[in-house]
Chains A and B, each alone.
Chain A
């Protein structure tokens, strides 16, 4: 159990376009999901916390208008990178928390974004 699906697994887009990444909890409800960004050879950096039915909470330095997060249901959160630029190229990973316990945190498979 506890499967988190993330799509797409990789995407290449032109500079100036927007890209949407989906994170789904397949067999449990997740009121809270997290979005991370990971540069090559670096750690996972939390970008924002996605809460079902309310606005996302962004970490300091993350542009909320640039990285739009929507958590409209208990099993789906989306991250939209708007007007993407080459510096947005990165590996994006989501995680979904089952309940309120941080021990029940499950990761998506990640999305490699390349902006040309």
Chain B
């Protein structure tokens, strides 16, 4: 089955700097890779996703890149702001029931 690894587990950056979070997956057949932002006690919010037929997708300050050969994908946040502070999860399709398998999460702290 699918296995998703996420690094780093914690990331601290200065406001205005960029942040990069990386994930690897094991199932070469996976074709959809979402990123979620979760604030404490709240539901995960989909912030960006990418399908396997493209290598990069960008939405304002957020971008995701995908390397199918290496089976890894990354979240890039530029010009970070304090409100970007949260836990970020990557995911990939997996399981026999058509679910998502989540990475362990990255706690991002943006210091003003």
Report the bound CA distance from A93 to B98 in whole Å: 17
Interface: B89 (CB within 8 A): yes
CB distance from A48 to the nearest CB of B (A): 9
- Check A32–B49 contact: CB distance below 8 A: no
B-to-A contact residues, CB < 8 Å = 32, 34, 41-44, 49, 89, 93, 95-100, 102-105, 107
Chain A 47-60 interface mask (CB, 8 Å, partner B; 1/0) = 00100000001000
- Is A107 positioned at the interface, with any CB of B under 8 Å from its CB? yes
A-B pairs with beta carbons under 8 A, tally: 47
Contact of A49 among B34, B49, B99 (CB under 8 A): B99
Q: Shortest beta-carbon distance, B40 to chain A, in Å?
A: 9
A interface residues with partner B (beta carbon < 8 Å): 32, 34, 41-44, 46, 49, 57, 91, 93, 97, 100, 102-103, 105, 107-110, 112
Q: Beyond A49-B99, A100-B98, is A43–B41 a contact (Cβ under 8 Å)?
A: no
Q: In the complex, what's the smallest C-beta–C-beta distance from B52 to chain A, in angstroms?
A: 12
- CB-CB < 8 A to B43: which residues of A? 93, 107-110
